[in-house]
Chains A and B, each alone.
Chain A
Amino acid sequence: MKQKYQVLVIGGGHAGVEAAAAAASLGCTTVLVTPSTEKISLMSCNPAIGGIAKGTLVREIDGLGGVTAESADATALQFRMLNMKKGPAVWGPRVQSDVDMYTVKQIQQLRAAGVHIVEGLVRRLVGPNKRIKAVLLEDGREIKAQTFVLAAGTFLDGMLHRGQVTWPGGRRGDTSSVSLERDIRKRMFHVKRFKTGTSPRVLRNSIDTSILEEQISHDLQFRFSWASKQGVANTEKCWVTRTTGETEKLVKDSLTKSALYSGRIHGRGPRYCPSFEDKVTKFPERTGHPIHLEPMGKSSRIMYLNGLSTSMPEEIQEKIVRSLPGFSNAVIAAYGYTVEYTCFETGEFDHTLKLRETENLYVCGQILGTSGYEEAAATGLFAGACAARSALGLEQTIPDRLNSYLGVMVDDLVSIGTEEPYRLFSSRSENRLGLRQDNADRRVFEFAEKLGVLSEKKIAEYQKRDRKYRHMRKKLMETRIHGKTVESICRRPEITPEEAGGLIDLQTQSIDEREILRTAVLDIKYSGYVKRAEKRHSVRKRYGSASLESIKDYNLVETITIEAREALNERRPATLLEAESIPAVRQADLDGLALYLMKRSVSRET
C-alpha cells in the first residue's frame, strides 16, 4: 500500500477500537488492522460492560471522548447498579450487552470517526526497534505509518486449553498470531505468559428458568455516556443459580483432567476472576457458588454462565453444568476453555504506554498485563491518543492517579507492575471517595482537553453541564434552612443526596440535572476526605524531590532490594523522583529509600 498513515493500530478488540477512535479524534489518518471485521470488539468472555470500578472507568472513557460508553448504552439489555448499599463511591454500574449489536455499534463509531479498517493478519513489524516503519501482513501487503499501537489481546502465540487438548488460537474459533509473537521475541522485548479463562455457554431453551431466581434489574434511568439521551434498556431477563455440593465434588474428582491443574499451562492466571477449579481448590469447604445466567443478545438462543470459568474436558463440563439446579437437560453450545498468551514484562513500557526501546510503538490492553474489556478500552484510548500526539509532534501528557482510574491503572502497570492479569479495583485508588462514577466527566475533563481527544461539541456540552454544576453549588451554599446552609446540611452522614437536593429550589426535571445535583452534593459530602488525599499525594510528590546525593553507597541501604541497590549505584539519580524512573527501582524500594533518609535524619538529631 502506498499511503502512509499517521497511526496504525494492530488489533480490533476493545483496546484497538478505542486506540483507533482516539487517534482519529486527534485528527490523524488512522488505520486499524484486524483479521476479521465481523469480530471487532467481540465480547469473547461475558456479555457485559461495567462493574465495580470498571463501570466508573467506562464513564471516564466517555469523559475522554471514547466510544465504549455509547456503544454499551445503545446495546444494553439489562442494567444493575452493583454495591448500591455500600456508598456512592463504590457504586458499580453494569449492563448486559447484546454481543452482536455491540460489534455493529463499534464499527459504526469507527467509521464515523474516519478510521480506515483493513482486514489482515500481521506477520511482523518492519524496521529497526528504535523506529518501526511498517507492518507486513500475511498476504504480503505492507502498510506504512508514523506511529503504531499494538493491541493484540490474547492472540500473541495464543494457546487454547481444554482438558488434555491444546490448540493454537487467540479465542475460540480463531487462529493465533504466532509469527508476530516470534518477531517480538526476536526483537528482544521482554515478555511473559499470562492465562485467562472463560465459561461454557448453554442453549436457553434447554434450561428450566422457572425454578431459578431472577436477577432483578435496576431502573435508575442510568446511562454510561452523557451523549445517550435515555436510560439504558431493561428488556432481557437474567437469572442466578447456585452450585450444589455435587458440582464441587465433580470438579474435585476431575482436577487432574483439567488443563489448569494438570500442569499443562505455565502462564499466570487472575486471582480475582478465578476459574471454577481455583474456587474449589482454594475454598474447599464452600459450596453454593453463585452462577449467573446471562443472555448473549436480545432473544439470543445462547446464555453465558458467569462464574463457571473452566478448562475441564468436554464430558466433565457436561456433567458440571447438569449438576446445577434447573440445568438437568442443559445443552452446551460452546465449551469453556483457558487461553494462554504472551504479554510484555513490566518495565518494557513507560507512562505513555510506549515501549521504551522504541520511539513509535505503543501497547495497550491485555499485552500490558490487564484483564477485562474496560481496562483494555481505557488503556487503548490513552495509547491511541499518545501515538497520535507523537505522530503530530505534540508534547505528551499523562493522567494523574489522583483524578482517574485511568491514571491509577497506568501508574500501577508502569510503576508497580503485575504478576497476574491486572483487574481494576476501587481499592487500588488512594482517592476512592473522589473517584466516583457520577463525577467521572468532571474529573477527567482537564486531562481530556490536554490530551486533545474531545470534539468541540463535547467540550461545549461539558461546559454547559459545568455551568449547571456551579449554579447548583452556589444554591447549596446560599440556601439556608433554620439558619444553616444546605451545604453544611449535606455533610451530615444521614442526609442522602436526594434529600439535600430537595432542600434547594431548582425544579430539576431532566435526568442530566438530577445527576449533576447528585454530584454536587456528593462532592461536598466527601470534600474533606478528597482534600486530605490530595494533600498526601502532594506530600508524596514533594518526597520525590528529596535529594539522594548524600547516599554514597547503596549497598549500605538495607531497606531496598539488591536489584535496586545495583541499579542505583550504577545510575546515581539525584532525587527520589529520578530514582522512580529506573525500572529496577520499585515503589517498595522508593519507600525504603525514604525511610532510610528519614531514619538518618532522626539519628542525626538525637
Chain B
Amino acid sequence: MEQQNDLIVAQATPDAVSAIAVVRLSGKGASAVVELLMKLKSGRLKGKKRAVGDFAGIDHIVAISWAVGKSYTGEEMVDLMCHGSPGTAGKIIGKLLEKGARQAQPGEFTRRAWINGRITEMDVLALSSQFSGGGRPGKDKDLSRELQELTSEIEGFIEFNEDHEISEEQKISDLLKRILQRTNDLAEKVKRAEILPKVFIMGPVNAGKSTLFNKLYGKETVVVSSTPGTTRDGATRILNVYGRRVEITDSAGYGGQRLDGKALTISEKSLGRGDRIVWMDPQCNDIPERIKQGYEVLRVCSMCDKKNTMEKTGWLSVSSVTGQGLQQIEEFISATEKEGSSWRLEKMVELLKKAIEAADSDVALAAEIVSEVLREAEEPVKNADAVERALERFCVGK
C-alpha cells in the first residue's frame, strides 16, 4: 500500500488541553525535516539528540531524535514536545504534512516497530491489551525466554544428570507448572484484546434466526469468555466452534419483512473483510444485492422440517428442530479466514498440560512438547492478521 519507511506523523497524546502535547514523526528524513523547520544546522538531530527552540514560528518546542534501529519504530524518528494549547499540535502536524509527511494510520507506528523487529507479535497483543485495560505488557516479553530457559534445564537433565545431577525431576515439573500459569494468564489477557471474526445471522423476520442462534449457543458447552464488554448486546455471543473463537450476532433486531436499507447499513458497519453472514429465509427469496456481493454468505432454507418448505439449489436445508444442516452451518462459521490470536496461547496451555503429564515417565517427550510450545511462542508472522487487527486498536500515534 504505502512505502514502508515513508515519513508519517501523528499526535501521540490525546487531543485535549494539557500542559504538553507530543507529535511523533517517523521515517526516512524525519530529522532533516525538523532541522529545516527549526532552522537547525544540518545533522544536528542525527542520532539520539535533543534540541530546544522555535518551530516554524508556531511554538517553542523540545525535539528528541533517535537513530535508525534505536527508536520505537526502528526507523529514524523524532518526537516533538509542544505546548498543549488547542491547535498547537495540529499546526505543527500541518507544517510537517506540507513538507511531505503523511498522516499516520492507527497503529502504524507499532506496525513498523513490529515489521522492523523491534517488538514481537506477543508484545503487540499485550500492548493492545494494555490499551483495553488488560494490564502491563512489559513482563510478557520474557515468556519465550523463560521457555528457552526451561528447555536448557530439561536438556541438562537429559544429557548430564546421570553423571552430574544438575537438576531434579521435581524441578522440571515445577518449572513447567510455573510456565503454564504464566501462559494461562497471557492467554486471558490476549483474549480480552483480540478482535474476533464475526458471523451475522440475518434474514427476514420469523425466518428462525433466533432459534438457530439459541441452538448454536445452547450447544456450546464451553462459554469461552465471560468478561464484561465482550458481549455487545443481548444478541451477540462469543462461541467456540471447532476450536475457533467466533463472535456471533443474531441481527433479529434489524429486520423487517424486507430488510430495509437502514438496518442493513447498521449491520454492514460492524462487518469487516472476512466476516461471514448466515442468511436465513424459509422462502428462499433473493438476498439483497449488496450482501450478495460484499460478503461470504451461506444461504439457508430454514424450517425444513415443516411442510411446504422450499428446496432450492444453492440453499442449505436446515431445521433447528431436527438438527438437519446444523453441522454444515457450524463448519461454515468455523471456516472463517480470520483467526483470533488467543487460540495460539490456548494451544500452548494445552501442550504444557500434556508436557507436565509426560514429564514423570518420559522427559524426552515432555521436551518435544515444550519445543512445540516454544515454536508457537516464537513463530514471528504466523498470524499477521491478528496483529494487524490488534494494531487497528491503537490510538494514532502509538
Q: Which residues of A does B touch, CB under 8 Å?
A: 52-53, 82-83, 85-90, 92, 272, 289-290, 292, 307, 425-427, 432-433, 493-494, 526, 529, 532, 558, 595, 598-599, 602-603, 605-606
Contacts and interface: CB of A to CB of B under 8 A. Distances in A.
Contact of A433 (B69, B111, B368): B368
A83 B365 contact: no
Nearest to B116: A599
Given A52-B159, A83-B158, A599-B117, A433 B164 contact: no
What 8 pairs between A and B have smallest CB-CB spacing? A87-B362, A87-B364, A89-B364, A86-B363, A90-B364, A603-B4, A427-B155, A82-B162
B266 interface: no
Interface string B116-156: 01000000000000000000000000000000000000010
A290 B117 CA distance: 46
A426 B158 contact: yes
28 contacts: A52-B158, A52-B159, A52-B162, A53-B159, A82-B162, A83-B158, A86-B363, A87-B362, A88-B364, A89-B362, A89-B364, A272-B159, A272-B160, A289-B164, A290-B165, A426-B364, A427-B155, A427-B158, A433-B368, A493-B361, A493-B362, A493-B365, A532-B372, A558-B69, A598-B380, A602-B381, A605-B384, A606-B111
Contacts of A603: 4, 115
Contacts of A532: 372
B98 interface: no
Contact of A87 (B155, B160, B161, B361): B361
Nearest to A92: B162
Given A292-B163, A426-B159, A603-B4, 18 more contacts: A83-B162, A86-B157, A86-B362, A87-B362, A87-B364, A87-B365, A89-B365, A90-B363, A90-B364, A290-B163, A427-B159, A427-B367, A433-B365, A493-B365, A494-B361, A558-B69, A599-B115, A606-B115
B357 interface: yes
B162 A432 contact: no
A172 B364 CA distance: 39
Contacts of A86: 157-158, 161, 362-364
Contacts of A599: 115, 117
B19 interface: no
B287 interface: no
A540 B366 CA distance: 24
B1 interface: yes
B358 interface: yes
Nearest to B112: A603
A240 to B, nearest CB: 10
Interface string B338-376: 000000000000000000011001111111100010000
Contacts of B380: 595, 598
Contacts of A526: 365
B172 to A, nearest CB: 10
A87 B172 CA distance: 14
A23 B365 CA distance: 38
Contacts of B69: 558
Interface residues of B, number: 31
A90 B358 CA distance: 14
Nearest to A430: B371
Contacts of B159: 52-53, 272, 425-427
A425 B161 CA distance: 13
A272 B158 CA distance: 13
A427 B157 CA distance: 11
A432 B367 contact: yes
B115 A602 contact: yes
A272 B163 CA distance: 11
Contacts of A529: 365, 368
Contacts of B158: 52, 83, 86, 90, 426-427
Contacts of B155: 425, 427
A449 B17 CA distance: 80
Contacts of B364: 86-90, 426, 432-433
B266 to A, nearest CB: 29
Nearest to A436: B364
Contacts of A52: 158-159, 162
B372 to A, nearest CB: 8
Interface in B83-107: none
A529 B364 CA distance: 12
A606 B163 CA distance: 53
Nearest to A603: B4
Nearest to A53: B159
Nearest to A432: B364
Of the listed residues B111, B161, B361, B364, the one surrounded by the most CB atoms of chain A closer than 10 A to its CB is B364
A606 B1 contact: yes
Contacts of B163: 290, 292, 307
Contact of A432 (B165, B357, B358, B368): B368
Contacts of B162: 52, 82-83, 92
B363 A602 contact: no
A53 B384 CA distance: 39
A291 B364 CA distance: 26
A272 B156 CA distance: 10
Nearest to A288: B165
Contacts of A88: 362, 364
Contacts of A433: 364-365, 368
A493 B164 contact: no
A85 B388 CA distance: 46
A18 B163 CA distance: 28
Contacts of B366: 87
Contacts of A307: 163
A532 B376 CA distance: 14
A289 B166 CA distance: 11
Contacts of B157: 86
B360 to A, nearest CB: 8
Contacts of B115: 599, 602-603, 606
A89 to B, nearest CB: 4
Contacts of B4: 603, 606
Contacts of A426: 158-159, 364
A595 B363 CA distance: 32
Given A82-B162, A426-B364, A603-B4, A493 B358 contact: yes
B385 to A, nearest CB: 11
A56 to B, nearest CB: 12
A433 B364 CA distance: 7
A307 B163 CA distance: 8
B90 to A, nearest CB: 27
Nearest to A240: B163
Contacts of B164: 289-290
Given A426-B158, A598-B381, A85 B361 contact: yes
A463 B117 CA distance: 52
Interface in B151-207: 155, 157-165
A408 to B, nearest CB: 14
Nearest to B362: A87
B160 to A, nearest CB: 8
Nearest to B354: A493
Contacts of B1: 606
B373 to A, nearest CB: 13
Residue of A82, A427, A433 with most chain B CB atoms under a 10 A cut-off:
A427
Best-surrounded residue of B160, B368, B381 (most CB of chain A within 10 A): B368
Nearest to B114: A602
B107 to A, nearest CB: 11
A412 to B, nearest CB: 15
A132 B365 CA distance: 48
Nearest to A80: B162
